[in-house]
Amino acid sequence: MWEYTDKVREHFLNPKNVGEIEHPDGVGDVGSIACGDALHLTFKLDDQGRIADAKFKTFGCASAIASASALTELIKGKTLEEAEKITNQEIANYLGGLPKEKMHCSVMGQEALEQAIASYRGTPTKEVEGTVVCECFGVTDLEIERAVRENSLKSVEDVTNYTKAGGGCERCHGAILELIAKIQGETVPEAPKPLTNIQKIKLIEETIEREIRPSLRQDGGNIELVDVIGNRVQVATRGACASCPSAPITMKNLVEAKLREFVSPDLVVEEVSS
């Protein structure tokens, strides 16, 4: 359950400026319904070049609605030069804060405003810049760097909250950590070098002898290493283990667990006859 401020609730339950302006001067569309959040922003300028009216349509959660509502209130009466200085943090501050998991809603508002101003000025629609880091949500390295820099983000979770990057399959978490370290001027610890097959077999044998075999021998059982194929460790049970109905559980909860702990988390143990 998210902790919302009274102002977030107010703008969610009674959003301001919902709709679409006819013949707008600026239009911004960001997000994707497929991704769960989308925002359509329109504004109209007066004779002095100030934003006389702004309206929005959005698809998203309570924070997305409240952020869009707050954005339209913030930009009304401002020149474009003043409006384009509004940051996502200012949108969140206007609402008295947002749950950290929902900060990406304020980022979406900032991006919609930037796009709407660009459409008024006739500047080309900003193409995706940088290299896509998060394939699940199409977030680039430059977008992550910007979020980290502007909001002093320190963890993958922070980045996910602000950009959604890393919130899917998680394969990009390493790359996100590198970007955070780059912005912070830190050095990413060097990843351990992968074991050679000979090193892996030797370590597996040592782990079986030290961590597994003593436990099995207490019940009259034993185990032998048969082969190692990539991350598949083939073993054969001996003694009481060979006829024990609980052997599959022992393979998973003892043998595989110990080998993953002391050798590699990627190992999978298979019992074979030999």
Residue at 74: amino acid letter: L
What is the rounded distance in angstroms from the CA atom of residue 197 to the CA atom of residue 220? 31
105 noted as active-site residue? yes
Sequence-distant (≥ 6) Cβ neighbours of residue 206 within 8 angstroms: none
Q: Which of 105, 134, 172, 241 is catalytic?
A: 105
H or E element, residue 74: helix 62-75
Give the pairing of strands 37-45 and 51-59: antiparallel
81 three-state secondary structure: helix
How many Cβ atoms sit within 10 Å of the Cβ of residue 137?
21
136 noted as active-site residue? no
Nearest to residue 131, comparing CAs of 122, 142, 145? Answer: 142
What is the rounded distance in angstroms from the CA atom of residue 107 to the CA atom of residue 100? 12
Ramachandran quadrant class, 265 (left: phi over 0; alpha: psi -120 to 50; beta: rest): alpha
Q: Which of 35, 61, 136, 244 is catalytic?
A: 35
What is the rounded distance in angstroms from the CA atom of residue 206 to the CA atom of residue 263? 10
Q: Supply the residues annotated as catalytic.
A: 35, 105
